Amino acid sequence: MAEPAIAAALEDAGPSVRVGCAGVPHGISRDTYFSRLDFLETDATFIEPPADSALRRWRRDAPDPAAFGTLAWQLITHEPGTPGYAHLRMELPLDARARVGGFRGTAEVAAAWVRTRDAALALGAEVILFQTPSSFSPSSANRDAMRRFFGDVVGDARGMRLAWEPRGVWEPAAAAAFAAELGLVLALDPLQLETDAPKADELYLRIQGLGLHRNRVSEDQLDVLAELVSGLARSWVVFANVEKYRDAQHFRKMLAGLAFVDRA
């Protein structure tokens, strides 16, 4: 069970803010994880979505207040030369390698979306996150590919929110405007920005951590995050730094209005 004071405070506030980690921290059981946090972003679906039976079991084993986010399958977003393809379990024929990634208008990418969607439904996911690599620039061709994919291929997302995390040279304000055009939730790390986060009703905040070791997020930075989410109608705050489990718990307690825990 979740700690009662935390659960009660967050229930009163409603599910407008979800807090969790990118992946279950090493050595932590899912039961323990969900007793302290209410959101889990799983990257198992990025390499290749697991069987629906396994995903349904993960959903059954999680408590009702918990929510999941999934990463879109790499066949949608990434080119075959990127590292994730080395871990692909299915055999990708040589002639098909030119027809995947980059939101291409191909049968392979359309099938990868159907598999991504079905996996997210099996898990009962709240959000599907599309991560584009730094090589996916804000060119006219790439923008058109995304318009075609989200306009013609995706169709009904069955109540799930679709988020997009652009890497590389996308300028935050321009990315936010493009995400809004496509009906996507922008995903970004606001602590990495040199300006204020773009204006939006919803944001998916992925906290990478600053510096070479991406260690703990400072108290001041958590205050910045708390102020940011207080102005949003809905947000997901996902910690992906080294100390993600500690920082996520601390941030969730901050939002619940509890006394700060000892982080020493």
Average pLDDT (55-72) is 95
Query: Cα separation of 50 and 53, whole Å?
Result: 8
Asked if residue 4 has pLDDT above 50, the reply is no
Is the pLDDT at 92 greater than 60, yes or no?
yes
What is the DSSP secondary-structure string of 210-243? STTTT-PPPHHHHHHHHHHHHT-SEEEEEE-STT
Spell out the domains of the chain, with CATH numbers in brackets: 4-255 (3.20.20.410)
The pLDDT value given to residue 9:
42
pLDDT tens digits, 144-182 = 999 999 999 998 899 999 999 999 999 999 999 999 999
Closest Cα to residue 3, out of 37, 28, 29?
37
What pLDDT is recorded for position 1?
39
> Residues 215-243: what's their mean pLDDT?
93
Q: CA torsion sign, 84 to 90 to 96 to 101?
A: negative
Mean of the per-residue pLDDT values for the chain?
Answer: 90
- Residue 101: Cβ-neighbour burial (10 angstroms; 0-12, 13-18, 19+): buried
Q: Tell me, what DSSP letter sits at residue 89?
A: -
